[in-house]
Amino acid sequence: MKIKEKATIISQECLCDGIYSMVIATNAAKCAKPGQFLSLYSGSAARLLPRPISICEIGKDEVRLVYRVAGAGTDEFSRMKKGDILEILGPNGNGFLQAAGEDAKAKKALLIGGGIGIPPLVELAKQLSGDVTVVAGYRSKDQVFLTDDLSSHAELVIATDDGSLGTAGTVIDAINENDITADVIYSCGPHPMLRGVKALAEKMGIPAYVSLEERMACGVGACLGCVCATTGIDDHSKVNNARICADGPVFPASEVEL
């Protein structure tokens, strides 16, 4: 159930260069699921469209958002303080566990994240039962964040592009180097990484569920501004695509073109 409301900021902190963690008091916490997102509205009349921010953690009456400053809207959010009021809409989209269905009961889960695709994996790791491994990819050790949060709920493996921490290379390199196996994969990050994840799942013969990153306009599925190519025909548009904001952002990897 989507809720549009004015949420109060409980805390805000910078985790590393350009990455911020914001906790807000919101009724959306009562129905939010890992993998969903909130739409945050700017206070400026020059920025009418909301910014989609993935949900990192869900509390009883609060939600944690971890985001990267990428433009004027997110820069505005990063300057807000405790007690400030923020207009939001959500929770939006289809989360990991809804997309996975029966596969969510798998005993051994592998969570793969890259960059700002890592935050949604925190709440997912908390809610999954069984053996959970997270492989997180960063540019360098100076850009590492959320490691304590992830390692509190799962075995954590790190890869960095420059080799300054963990495996030198990609998340796929880290998986191969550590001989990691699983019964199901959940992943969020840039498209090149997700293509590698999809190929890995096919090689391992296991299902994978991917959360797609895309620029969004309305955030509720009306404008068709964030479609992705799919193997099936969308009931809404009658062509081979799906709306990431409404039908996703999480999809079975086998059903989307990456």
CATH of the domain at 125: 3.40.50.80
Residues 115 and 187 in one domain: yes
In a domain, 230, yes or no: no
Q: How many domains does the chain have?
A: 2
Residue 99 · residue 251 · CB < 8 Å: yes
pLDDT tens for each residue of 138-196: 999 999 999 999 999 999 999 999 999 999 999 999 999 999 999 999 999 999 999 99
Q: 131 by DSSP, 3-state: which?
A: strand
The domain that holds 67 is classified in CATH as: 2.40.30.10
- Average pLDDT of 10-19? 98
Assigned domain for 258 exists: no
Residue-level pLDDT at 229: 73
Assess whether 204 and 100 both reside in one domain. yes
Point out the domain boundary residue: 172, 192, 210.
210
Clarify whether residues 77 and 113 are in a common domain.
Answer: no
Q: Is the pLDDT of residue 237 over 70?
A: no
Average pLDDT, the chain: 93
- pLDDT over threshold 70, residue 135: yes
Residues 22 and 124 in one domain: no
pLDDT digits (tens, 9 = 90+) for 18-49: 999 999 999 999 999 999 999 999 999 888 88
Q: Which of 92, 125, 143 is the last residue of a domain?
A: 92
In this structure, the answer to whether residues 42 and 101 fall within a common structural domain is: no
Do 54 and 123 belong together in one domain? no
Domain boundary among 46, 68, 92: 92
User: Percent of the chain beyond pLDDT 90?
Assistant: 81
- Provide the 3-class DSSP secondary structure of residue 157: strand
Residue-wise pLDDT tens digits, 104-132: 999 999 999 999 999 999 999 999 988 99
Residue 234 lies in a domain: no
CA separation for the pair 122, 23 (Å, rounded): 14
Residues 74 and 120 in one domain: no
> 65, 43, 73, 28: which is closest to 215 by C-alpha?
73
Whether residue 7 is found in the same domain as residue 107: no
Domain range holding 174? 96-210
Residue 217 lies in a domain: no
For residue 221, the model assigns a pLDDT of: 64
Residues 147 and 178 in one domain: yes
- For residues 107 and 205, state if they share a domain: yes
- pLDDT of 2: 84
Tell whether 244 is covered by a domain. Answer: no
Residue 216 in this model has a pLDDT that exceeds 70: no
Mean pLDDT of 189-210: 97
Whether 248 has a pLDDT exceeding 70, the answer reads no
| Spatial separation of the C-alpha atoms in residues 106 and 129, rounded to whole Å | 9
- Note the pLDDT of residue 214: 65
Domain shared by 126 and 141, yes or no: yes
* Whether 68 and 137 share a structural domain: no
Whether omega for the bond prior to residue 190 falls within 30 degrees of 0, making it cis, is: no
